[in-house]
Structure 1
Amino acid sequence: MKKALCIMSGGMDSTLCAYMAKKEGYEVVGLHFNYSQRTQDKEKECFYKICEILGAKTVEIDTNFIAQIGGNSLTDRDLEIRKTMSDEVPNTYVPFRNGIFLSIAAAVAERYECEAIYIGVTQADGSGYPDCTAEFIKAAQKFINLGRVYQSTVKTPLINLSKADIVKEALNLGVALEYTWSCYENGVVACGKCDSCRLRLKGFSKANAVDKIAYAKLS
């Protein structure tokens, strides 16, 4: 059976990608990264729950050196997570995170002979992170395949979808969205104010759907 390595944060987008891979006939291998992010425990919990639902093999890798690099509010508690809207890339951007993840994913995919690597990046309705663009992914696929024996295609089925489209597609596929997490700040009750919460709530609102996870009461 063909295999797909799915980079899974425990969030809505990467979870949808894993469901899509399974629908397309792949045996799913879920890959999760810990990098000392604020909501690490919650993300890990969601990852394992979704993989259990999908019957996916799980691979968990610690990349705590990302926190040592710093420069972002996900790993540096001295920085405040942005709660206001702006056209600037927020300080939740973790420098070259997807480049690091894809490099490691390439090795894991070769280990398990996965012909596809799924990553839930989106450039149409996101925070403007530079490592979430189609151009970046195309270049990443080239460099990781140049350095390996076993070749893989990097698949980004959500790249041009809005958050509303993502919610609609997830609901159509029966994705257990109640077991996904998007909040950058809290791991028990979502703050509802960070970029990731705002984008998630916007997607559910535009899709005329109800998000089942708990949010803090917004003033």
Structure 2
Amino acid sequence: MDNGLGNVHDPPVIILDEPTVGLDPRQIIDVRNLIKSLAGDHTIILSTHILSEVKMTCDRITIINRGQVVATNHPDDLVNEVRGGVQYELDIAGATEVATSKLQQLDSVASVSVQSQSQDPDEDKETSQRSLLLVQLNPGSDDGPALARTLIEAGLNLYGMQRTQASLEDVFLNLTATDVVSMDQTVEQIAEQIAELQPDTKEPAMEAKSESEDESEKNESENHAEIESENHAENM
């Protein structure tokens, strides 16, 4: 209801700050649907750290780090731009070198790396070598069937194929990563700053002693002058 009140005067721009925080799942769905319904006739600016909601409701994302805009794009394009596109994990049996060579010949493939290798004693010699390959596709590419077809045509057995992609959380962490100062360094820096602010206790003590001596000498001088004055009065 509170979100709907912002639309009473039909504003061209509506700004929502963390609109789903503290809501139960049904209320979150209601707010999500409200945002989508308003987006057709209004510009909705959603300020939030709940990136799963961003992906489901927004068609453009801006990430800000320390007051600076570090990225702006469509959610999927932003993921591809920052993390290099879609990846596939392929579980194959057969010559790893052949599989790697065949896959790298595809225009959509950016790189192929071997994640792990093992021997399957239940298979014959030609197919006993099992490998888990990670295939990185070029940004904008997502042709999984071509990968499977290439391996099968090369005479390799494909036991499993899984599509993976970076999440918006991964992108956010990547773009906002900063150097972390260790706790020991922080404590040392604070100790040095405190030491610089503290006065030197030795020199003031010496100065106080010097001032005390000066005061004593002054008193003795005054007493001596007073005695001389009294003697002079008696002589007169």
**Which TM-score bucket, shorter chain as reference?**
under 0.3
Give the strand-richer structure, 1 or 2. Answer: 2
Q: Using structure 1 for the length normalisation, give the TM-score.
A: 0.21
Give the helix-richer structure, 1 or 2. Answer: 2
Greater CA radius of gyration, 1 or 2? 2
Q: Using structure 2 for the length normalisation, give the TM-score.
A: 0.20
